[in-house]
Amino acid sequence: MIEFHLDARSGVAPYLQLVHQVRQAMRLGLLFEGDRLPTVKDVAAKVAINPNTVLKAYRELEYEGLVTKKPGVGTFVSSTLSDPSLPEHEPLRRELQGWLERARAAGLDEESIEALFVSTFRTPTEEER
């Protein structure tokens, strides 16, 4: 089951953070068709937000066709975003974990690591130039 978290410093609305986390879990093959999302009450209590915010996120996911609400039962994944490249993710994840360990060992904090990653990610590659 997915574990939600919120980053108050991100500048992204809480409901969108929840939507992005569900989409990411689907994309990474962590949520599959038929999986049940946590109840609105459970999410609201865990991340300390208004239940209406969770409802808004779940409605957005329903509008996108990614989940289906079954009254009295819960909200279920009705589609998937994973792609055929999913088996190639694990070796890349291990490489990235090694890179993160080296970055921490070099003294970078979480914010510095994120800034370095984002700036590198947005820099055009040789092919794109």
Q: What string of H, E and C letters represents the secondary structure of the chain?
A: CCCCCCCCCCCCCHHHHHHHHHHHHHHCCCCCCCCECCCHHHHHHHHCCCHHHHHHHHHHHHHCCCEEEECCCEEEECCCCCCCCHHHHHHHHHHHHHHHHHHHHCCCCHHHHHHHHHHHHHCCCCCCC
Indicate whether 129 pLDDT > 80. Answer: no
Distance CA 55, CA 6 (A): 15
- Classify the C-alpha dihedral 17-20-98-90 as positive or negative: positive
pLDDT tens per residue, range 79-122:
887 767 777 878 888 999 999 999 999 999 999 998 998 888 88
pLDDT of residue 82: 72
Which pLDDT value is given to residue 66? 95
**Is the pLDDT reported for residue 75 higher than 70?**
yes
- Per-residue pLDDT tens digits for 16-67: 999 999 999 998 888 999 999 999 999 999 999 999 999 999 999 999 999 9
Q: Which residues contact 74 (CB under 8 A, 6 or more apart)?
A: 36, 37, 39
Q: Decide: pTM greater than 0.85.
A: no
